[in-house]
Amino acid sequence: MNAPPLRPTTLAELSAAVCSAPRVLAIGARTKPRLSTVGSDVTLISTLGLSGITEYQPDEFTFTALAGTPLRDIASTLGARGQYLPFDPYLLEAGATLGGTLAAGLSGPGRFRFGGLRDFILGVRFVDGTGRLVRLGGKVVKNAAGFDVPKFFVGSLGRFGVFGELTFKVFPRPAATLTLRLPVTDANAATQILTAAAGARWEIDALDYLPAADAVALRLAGPASALPLLAAEILTRFPGEILNDAAADALWTELRELHWTFANGPLLKLALTPVQLPALAATVRTHKGRLHVTAGGNAALVSLPTPIASLGLAALTLRGPGPLWLDPPATPAIAAAVKTALDPQNRFPSIAP
């Protein structure tokens, strides 16, 4: 069992905390607790004492915040100026932090149109394995600071360093949104809609398959006057209905907060392609699991009542029992090189699955 986490409140204290033990790992609000389940020889460092937006430039569409800042606080501040995080971060109301979301590499439905976390991070200040406070990237959108190492931190699981401060770009919030529900008979039918809609001219904001609802959810965003016209055109090609605002808000909130998942079973994140969707859906169904396919069929979350050995695709366990990885992927040579450069003493748990 791990000792109580250290809780630094300044970046200097964060550096000292990293140097205080031979093996350390950062944690945030632990909304994805399997990622920080490590051996008793690892000292945990909580970033919750490092919270707050340190710089916000609405006219430049950028902000800088400490790693332990709750996403809901960031969303509230941005919303007051008509801006938002287009990658739709998960677990907003559950208390997920900016640093924990980056470490998990967890982007939501809005990733389909605008890209995920990797497309919005501009810079990072972090403590490396030697205790140095290092800054990589910058605080402006037009930045040419050399090799874009901050993107390596997306999905790094805290294995390269401990985040102290992060800079992101943001977008103006769309004037209006409109959600369509397109019924489907099975995963094959869903795949056909996902691939056809993704290649159409409609500039879809989100495109998700919800097997439990036997439907594809398609979200449009833009000028309020234009959305009904686009929706009418889409519905001439794919039968379905327009959800009212309350139903649409309930749908996207349920997905964002993961209310559809089993409370105690494994929750897995995986990448896929639409052509792999029918096989994945069949496997999940065999194990009496639940599935949410997002980003037009290129990412999925799988919730299971009990652990299983394989999904047939590399999958990262976000919470619940079971191994950290199912069907673990190979570690790219460049990731191993970055690990060696930033953590030569191997102070952080290995990046290997």
Residue by residue, DSSP assigns 260-297 as TS-SSS-EEEEE--GGGHHHHHHHHHHTT-EEEEEGGG
Please answer whether residues 294 and 109 qualify as being in contact, where contact means their C-beta atoms are separated by less than 8 angstroms: yes
* Beta bridge partners of residue 220, listed in sequence order: 178
Distance CA 213, CA 302 (A): 15
Range among 36-40, 150-154, 176-180 rated most confident: 176-180
Measured distance CA(292)–CA(304) in Å, rounded: 12
pLDDT over 90 at 145, yes or no:
no
CATH class of 46-172+331-342: alpha beta
How far is residue 191 from each of residues 216, 234, 284, measured CA to CA in Å? 9, 16, 16
SS3 state of residue 15: helix
Average pLDDT over residues 59-86: 97
Arithmetic mean of pLDDT, 229-235 = 97
279 backbone dihedrals φ, ψ, rounded to 5°: -65, -40
pLDDT, residue 334, reads: 86
Go through 264-296 and write b for each residue having 16 or more CB atoms within 10 A of its CB, e for each that does not: ebbbbbbebebebbeebbebbeeeebbbbbbbb
Q: Starting from the edge strand earliest in sequence, which strands make up the sheet with 215-222, in order?
A: 241-242, 176-183, 215-222, 206-210, 290-294, 299-303, 267-271, 315-319, 325-326
Sequence-ordered list of residues with C-beta below 8 angstroms from that of 225, at least 6 positions apart, any chain: none
What is the reported pTM? Answer: 0.94
Placement of tokens 């945990």 in the chain: 44
The model's confidence at residue 330, banded by pLDDT at 50, 70 and 90, is confident
Q: Does residue 339 register a pLDDT over 60?
A: yes
Q: What is the mean pLDDT of residues 130-147?
A: 74
Amino acid code (one letter) for 1: M
pLDDT of res. 138: 73
DSSP state of 332: P
What percent of the chain shows pLDDT beyond 90?
89
Question: Is 70 exceeded by the pLDDT of residue 180?
Answer: yes
pLDDT at 352: 54
Could you tell me the residue ranges of all domains in the chain?
46-172+331-342, 176-322
Over the chain, what is the mean pLDDT?
Answer: 94
Rounded average pLDDT over 91-98: 97
> For 317-331, what is the mean pLDDT?
94
pLDDT for 141 equals 60
pLDDT per residue over 261-302, tens digit each?
999 999 999 999 999 999 999 999 999 999 999 999 999 999
Q: Does pLDDT of 140 surpass 70?
A: no
